[in-house]
Each structure stands twice: as structure tokens, then as C-alpha cells.
Structure 1
Amino acid sequence: MTAYDFDLITIGAGSGGVRASRLAAEAGRRVAMIERSRVGGTCVMRGCVPKKLLVIGAGFAAELADAEAFGWQVTGAEFDWARLVVSKNAELNRLETIYARVLREAGVTMVKGRGTLLDAHTVQVGERRLTAETILIATGGKPFLPALPGIEHAITSNEALDLMQLPRRAVIVGGGYIAVEFAGIFNALGVEVTLLLRGEAILRGFDPDLRSAQTEEMEALGIDIRPRTLVRAIERDRSGSRVLTSDIDGNPGETIETDLILYATGRVPNSAGLGLEAAGVQLDERGAVIVDAFSRTSIRNIWAVGDVTNRLNLTPAALAEAGAFVRTAFQGCPTAIDHQLVPTAVFGAPPLATVGLGEDEARRLYGSVDVYISRFRPLRQGLTGRGGRALVKLVVERDDDHVLGVHVIGPDAPEIIQGFAVALRCRATKAQFDATLGVHPTAAEELVTLRQRRPDPAPKPTLQPEPKLESTEAPSPPSTPEPQTDPLPDPDLEPERTAPDPS
């Protein structure tokens, strides 16, 4: 039998890597974890946690504005962005210390540096060569920047989290989670925000009513959302930056003067430069590691979890995949993760949260569905006269009455959706929702008091196919919202997102 240095080598100390390494070590395995950056990964150091701290900080602007309506006299309040960033960084340092301690106490050997596979069992880290029976790839994803003139003048969410000075004007390119969230942060703190997106609307893949309601609320706050807009080039001189735009048909558009350009056009798997292909590990066209339902790659002893697999790029998914990997690889209990019915939230202005199917997808999969929806002004807005309306929506399968999707927009949406995710996992029916008494007065009670079914949409007319015309031009590739161009591989290793609780 071949003697290896370790039973498991994990490359990447993010959500999946930390969870898998700790559990394997606690199960008695000899584990080494390789990380070139900070322990904790993207979510703790460059994503979910610091971003949420900025969201909370920016949210006090609305709290202060509303306070006088509730009897408070607020005078002399001033905001210091740099102080918020310093406080945020102190919290990240605390969390990293906790992660390092938890791994150390579990018996995990930490190796600082960049890991590269030499073969299916050997990893090079600087001058060292480490061997293991099993290797886990958990290197996550990284922000994507397209190749266009002047792109060096743009920043990504990584740099946005560490800005020491707020800009007066900001252009954000993208329409997904990160773009919407930073638009809300900056807008709340007085920054003039312009959001450029290639598609028709923000938040592709979400329920259409959520997308339109979120757009309406953001525009009411003063965020300038410009759909069907591309960036042709970025210019910068002593007076500032200029974003040259065009429409999606290539016609020149407006030139936007700005102080900051933030690109939030998606993330790509962080797999380049790891030696995966040389070791025989198969990647897809975007660089994602191809795995089976149990997270095993094309090489039997090499596994991968988290964003580097591009399955479901959410922290809880990476954590669940890591636990399933340990049960499968080391505990004789093959476990596959169900990536359906996973709740998610966008911490925008206002926040939204969802679990299950949107209306369009539900109609495509099930045919006949019932839709219940309500928009209302939250109780707090009755005194302030400020702020928008909340939204709750249920999508229900008509044949057996079970709830297919729950969608919420409003201040407490992320907290509300977690409990309803359990209900959907248990295949709760609309009748059971109706039989449940609500907590009054709350926004959540609206989800168990919906009674009026929305009429079915009118059937769409059948269009006659257009006659095919011969052309000497090559066919255009199918459009994909993000990223805007094919990503170029980058050898930098950035571990994936993780949750603040290292357990």
C-alpha cells in the first residue's frame, strides 16, 4: 500500500474547504489545507459577511430619516464611511482568528501558499511536495472583468469593500445580486448611482413580479437603471472617468461622467492554474470542475465542492456539499445534496428573498398554476410617509395544491423566507398555509392570509415562423447575460464564500 503524507489535502480555505477539512480531521483523518490568501474565503473576507455589514451600516440612513416620525429628535448625525470600513475589517480579523483556531483544534495542518496538482495524488506548494490519498478542490470563484478598452479603470466587489472614501457618483455594471446590493449601499449613503445592464431587467432568473417590483422600488429611491446598455470603453483623465456606452444593437449611446466604475458582471470558477487538466480532471467550457452527484470528479480520488463546480453558487450549498463529501468519502455513507428548494436573498434596497419556483418556470414545468400576490405599505411607512411597498407572492400547483414558490420583497424578507423554505421542503399546501394563523401585525402574516387568486394570463397568440433567409454570415452565438465575454483564465487563487459560523 502506498504511504501518503495525508489522507486528505484540501486546496482552498473557504466555506466548503473549511467545513470538509474540519469534519474529516474530527473523524480521525490526517488533513492538510492549502491556502494562499486568508482563511475564511470569499464570503467572510470579500463577500457575504463584509457586504452585509456595509448593508447594515447604510441602512441606518433610513432609520435616522424615519426616527423623527416616531418621536425622536435626531440632530447632528454624521456618517464616516472610513470608520465603517475599519470596523468591518476588525470584525473580519476576528472571524479569521476563529476559523484558524477551529481548524487548529481539529488537527488540520495549515499550509500557506498556492497549491498546484502534479498528479492525482501530489500537490506542489512552493518548494514542498505533499501527497494524499484524497484531494478536494474548494477554490471557489472570482469576479469577472471583460476585455474592453479602459477596463483597468474599473474595480470589482473585492475592491469596493475596501474603499476608504465614498465617491460622489458611481456607475455599476451588471444586474445581479452584487450589482443590486452595492447600488443600494451607495444610494443610501448619498452616492449618485447609475446601474447599467445588458438585459431587459435586473435579477435574471428571479420571479418576474419580484424583478419589476424591485426595479420600481430602486428607481423610487433615485437609482438610475438603464437596461439594454453595454459599455464600449472606459476613459480616465485628471477630471475623472467616463463610461462610453452603446445599446445592445451596437448603436453609440451616452457618455457617463463618474467617479467610480464597479463591474459586477458575475463570477467565474477559480480553477485556472491549479494543474487540474494535467491531472486528468475534466472542466467545462467555463472552467468549472465537472462532478457527479456526490462531488467526485473524473479522477476517482479527486473531489470538488462549492463555487468552483458552478452548481449552486451559494454559501449554504458549499457547506452542505462539504459535509456530504466527508460522509461519502470517509464514512461509508454516500450522500448527494439536493440543490432544489434552496432559499436565497438579495440584500438590496429593499431586500428580497425567495424559495422555490417563479411563476414563469412553474407554468413551464407544471402547466396550470395558481398565483396569489399582494403589495402593501408596511406599518412603519404609515407614520413616516416615506418608503415603498412590500410584496408577497405564492405560486401554487393547481392540481394538488402544494406551494411551488414563495417570494417576498420588504425589510424583513430574508428572515421571513427561511421558515417558509422549511414548509416547501415538507411539501406544504396552500390549504395548510390558509389554516395557519399569522403573527399580527407583521409582514410575514400576509403569506398565510392570501385568498384572492390572480386570474390566469391571456394565452399568447401563436406566431407564424419567419421564413428562413440565406446568409453568408456566421450565426450569432446565443446570448448569455453574464459574463459579457468569454472569461480569460487567471492563475490567482481565491477561495470561495463561507458563512461566519465555522461549524
Structure 2
Amino acid sequence: MSDFDFDLFVIGGGSGGVRAARISAGYGAKVALAEEYRLGGTCVIRGCVPKKLMVYASGFPGAVEEAQAYGWDAQIGAFDWTKFRGKLDAELTRLEAIYRRGQEGAGVTLYDQRATVVAPHEVQLADGTRVSAKHILVAVGGKPFVPEFEGCEHVLTSNDMFKFDTLPKTMLIVGGGYIACEFACIMAGLGVDVTLFNRSPLLRGFDTDARDVIIGQMERAGIKIHTGVVIDKVECLGDDFRIHASDNRDEVFDAVLYATGRVPLTEGLGLEDAGVKLGSRGEVLVDAYSQTNIPSIFAVGDVTDRIALTPVAIREGHAFADTIFGAKPTTMDHDLVASAVFTQPEFGTCGLTEDEAREKGPVEIYLSSFKPMKSAFAGNPEPVFLKLVVSKEHRTVLGCHIVGESAGEMIQMVAIAMKMGATKEQFDATCAVHPTMAEELVTMRSPARTD
């Protein structure tokens, strides 16, 4: 008989935590999981899923315009946010119930309350109950970061974007990463007058050519972008908010959203008191097997600040379960992880940017920009953009960057080839599917730039 109440106690019911719990239970482990808010975590409840549904909703005005160009007598009326939000809330409740059934069906004991670490083998629940476990897995994710300034308590974060009673008419979005840019496109598509401030250029860290295409299309969609601007004060004026910025800009908006990054949600979790080492941003420091410096405590997902993507957290959680309870030591391969940014247009990316690749050696750059058949026929001037970054020495495709409709779908397929180490010549040897946008990936013959 075990000396512990559970073989595994998971803190956090997001993507990584529920995967680890379910797979571990499937191996025969006695597992418990504590979640203080709702099962599903950031992705399902206040991130990827509701955001993507809002992306779909915001795209219909443009689709109707294209339909008109194709001969349809199509019209679109006002957007009913209340109706949409009701369906959105119902869908999130449905998904949460699926997560709960999955855990219960696997035999996982669920605690709908906060849990903190009090010792290497012990956690404490919010009701004061203490529970022992042979292994503890921290999978609490992250939270939006808002800097300290006068009036910072008045601003929204991404957690609030699905809870409006009515949509604002004007909105200021502060930030330059993918979350800020995605919400700028969403809200503009829903008819909100959007202004975006950031202290530096948008989409830093992404490929320069691709981000320039996206920013240009955001501006043409009516989003007012100002860089080199820092907010130093937000004042509440009844239902409105007056902002004052570093360049003496003084404007009033119905809502102010801060999307200035996320930080690991480790504050008050008891990890440091238990001896667990944290990084400068509060991230849990782990090895390749997601193990901390305390042998019984592990961590997966955004709380480790490795790659903050849902599929990564899921794979890390699964690898943990395989290693500890499946007798199959497994690590998550963090190389060549594809991702999509759901701006309008979409951005799919995998591998190195051009600048990153040049630091490793000589490269060839292949570019294609064209008006796709569907939108060109409708008179839409926005192009699709594709870019391949190729090692001049080894010929492998080091990076792929796509801007355009369904870029996320395309990059998933490209990532398979890149993971297999495909060369530019193997791309070229692949027969194109015509007429498609993706065929350009295998028909770019001459480099636009080469070292």
C-alpha cells in the first residue's frame, strides 16, 4: 500500500494538466487534479477557442463583400454581440463538460478549488485539506501582464475580451505581440474603431517580411497603429477612459485593452518555500523531462516559459505521463514547432526567421507574393505572401512563413516536411496542386536574395 494519498497530484486543469492526469491514470496511477477556475484552462475558456470563434465572427463582413462580387445579392446587417456571446458561453460550457467527463472517466479525482504546494510531497487545498502525493505536477499556465502606472486598474486584459455586455464603439489596444494584433483585427472586423499603441515595432520576433505584410493590411483595414508610444495614465470618465501617453497624446476611448505579454502564474503557489527554483520571470525551471530541482515536483506548459502554445503543453504533459508512469522515458521536442497567428490575414510560421538563419550561416531566400484567384476575382487587392528560408550549404528548409487565408492550415502540412529535414530540391520535386495558393511553396525556383 502506498504511503501517499495519490501517485500524482496535478495543480492546474488546462491542456497540459488534464492530458498528464488522464494518461497517467490510464497507466494505473491514482491521480488527483485541482483547478480553481474552470477545466480547460486558458486555451479553452479564455484563449484560443473563444478567440478563434471571434475571428470567424469578425470575418463575415468581408465574406459578404466577396459574395457580392461573385454575383450574390448578399447583405449583412448589424452584429448582435449579445446573441453571439450567448452561443459562445454555451459552447465553452459544453467543452468544459467534455474535459470533466474525460477526467472522471479516467478515474481522476477532481478538486474544484485552488491548491498550493506546501512540501515536496504535499499540497494544500483552499478548504485547508492537505493531500500527499508521490509526484506533484504544476500546470497552472500563465496570466496577462499589465505594467504598473496611474490608472492601470481601469484597463482590460485578454481574459475580459469575451465578457462584454455590449461591444465598445472605440477601443485602444496597447501591445505589439500576436495577442494584441489578433484582437485588433477581431474588433475592427466586428465594427469597433480600433487604435493600437506599442512602445516598439509590432510582431517583434517574427519574420520581418511577413510582419510588414500583416501590418500593412491591418492599416488598410482601418486600424490606427502608433509605435514608440507608452501610456503613463488612464483616467476613468464615467463609461469612458481618457489616456495620456508619453508623446503628450491625450485621447478618450470606450475601452482600453492591455495585451503586453503574459507571465507564469506561480505567485503564491508555495513553490519557492518547497525549494523549487524559479526563473527571473517566475517561471518554473525544469529539465528536458519537465522535472524541477526537487525530484518529486514537475511542471509543464506555459508555467515553464518554454514555448507558450497549447499543443506544446499537451505534448509535455503526455511525455511526463509516459516517463513517470508508462516506463517510457520521453521528452518533448521543442524544435521546429509550427504556430499560427490569427490576424486577418492569418500568419503561419515554422522554423527560423531570415535574421535568425543568417546568424547560423549563408542562406537563400525564396519569396512569392500574388493575388489569389478567389480574392482577385472579387477585386480584393490584398496579396498572399510566402517565404522559404533555405540553408545554402545543406539545402534544408530552415524557415517557412505564410501570410494569407488558411495560412495556419498550410503551415501545419509544411511543418511535417520540415521536421523530416526536407530540402529545397525536395520541395521542388513535389508536383503542385493547381489551382491553389499552397502550390507556390513548390514552384519558387529562383532565390530573391542569397548570401
TM range (shorter): over 0.9
Q: Counterpart of 1:110? A: 110
Q: Counterpart of 1:460? A: none
Aligned counterpart in structure 2 of residue 415 of structure 1, from 385, 409, 412: 409
Within a 5 Å distance, the mapping from 1:98-137 to structure 2 comes to 98-125=98-125, 126-137=127-138
The AA in structure 2 aligned to 1:445 is E
How big is the shift at 1:2? 6.2
CA RMSD of aligned residues (A): 1.2
Q: Counterpart of 2:249? A: 254
Give the match's secondary structure for 1:123: strand
Q: Counterpart of 2:392? A: 398
How big is the shift at 1:28? 0.5
Q: Counterpart of 1:185? A: 186
Aligned counterpart in structure 2 of residue 270 of structure 1, from 262, 265, 284: 265
Give the match's secondary structure for 1:282: coil
Q: Counterpart of 1:65? A: 65
Contact 2:61–2:76 at 8 Å: present in 1 too?
A: no
How big is the shift at 1:299? 0.3
The AA in structure 2 aligned to 1:210 is A
User: Can you list the C-alpha shifts for 1:207-226, whole angstroms capped at 9, x where unaligned?
Assistant: 11011111111111111111
The AA in structure 1 aligned to 2:139 is A
User: Can you list the C-alpha shifts for 1:467-487, whole angstroms capped at 9, x where unaligned?
Assistant: xxxxxxxxxxxxxxxxxxxxx
Percent of residue pairs identical? 48
Give the match's secondary structure for 1:452: coil
User: Can you list the C-alpha shifts for 1:363-384, whole angstroms capped at 9, x where unaligned?
Assistant: 001x210000011111122222
How big is the shift at 1:239? 6.6
Q: Unaligned regions of 5+ residues in structure 2, if any?
A: none
CA distance in 2, matches of 1:243, 1:396: 45
Q: Counterpart of 2:372? A: 378
Q: Counterpart of 1:490? A: none
CA distance in 2, matches of 1:209, 1:221: 19
CA distance in 2, matches of 1:431, 1:257: 55
User: Can you list the C-alpha shifts for 1:258-288, whole angstroms capped at 9, x where unaligned?
Assistant: 1110000010000111110111111011100
TM-score by length of 2: 0.98
Q: Are 1:20 and 2:20 matched, yes or no?
A: yes
Q: Counterpart of 1:439? A: 433
How big is the shift at 1:387? 4.6
Give the match's secondary structure for 1:253: coil
How big is the shift at 1:118? 1.4
Q: Counterpart of 2:447? A: 453
How big is the shift at 1:243? 1.5
Aligned counterpart in structure 1 of residue 318 of structure 2, from 298, 319, 323: 323
Within a 5 Å distance, the mapping from 1:81-480 to structure 2 comes to 81-125=81-125, 126-199=127-200, 201-238=201-238, 240-246=240-246, 252-365=247-360, 367-456=361-450
CA distance in 2, matches of 1:296, 1:236: 46
Give the match's secondary structure for 2:248: strand
How big is the shift at 1:330? 1.5
In terms of mean alpha carbon deviation, does 160-169 or 396-405 score higher?
160-169
The AA in structure 1 aligned to 2:303 is V
CA distance in 2, matches of 1:383, 1:400: 40
In terms of mean alpha carbon deviation, does 379-388 or 271-280 score higher?
379-388
User: Can you list the C-alpha shifts for 1:431-455, whole angstroms capped at 9, x where unaligned?
Assistant: 1111111111111111111112113
CA distance in 2, matches of 1:32, 1:242: 47
Contact 2:24–2:326 at 8 Å: present in 1 too?
A: no
CA distance in 2, matches of 1:297, 1:239: 47
CA distance in 2, matches of 1:426, 1:286: 34
User: Can you list the C-alpha shifts for 1:401-439, whole angstroms capped at 9, x where unaligned?
Assistant: 111011100011000000000000000011111111111
Give the match's secondary structure for 1:388: coil
CA distance in 2, matches of 1:96, 1:75: 35
How big is the shift at 1:76? 5.6
The AA in structure 2 aligned to 1:354 is T
Q: Counterpart of 2:74? A: 74
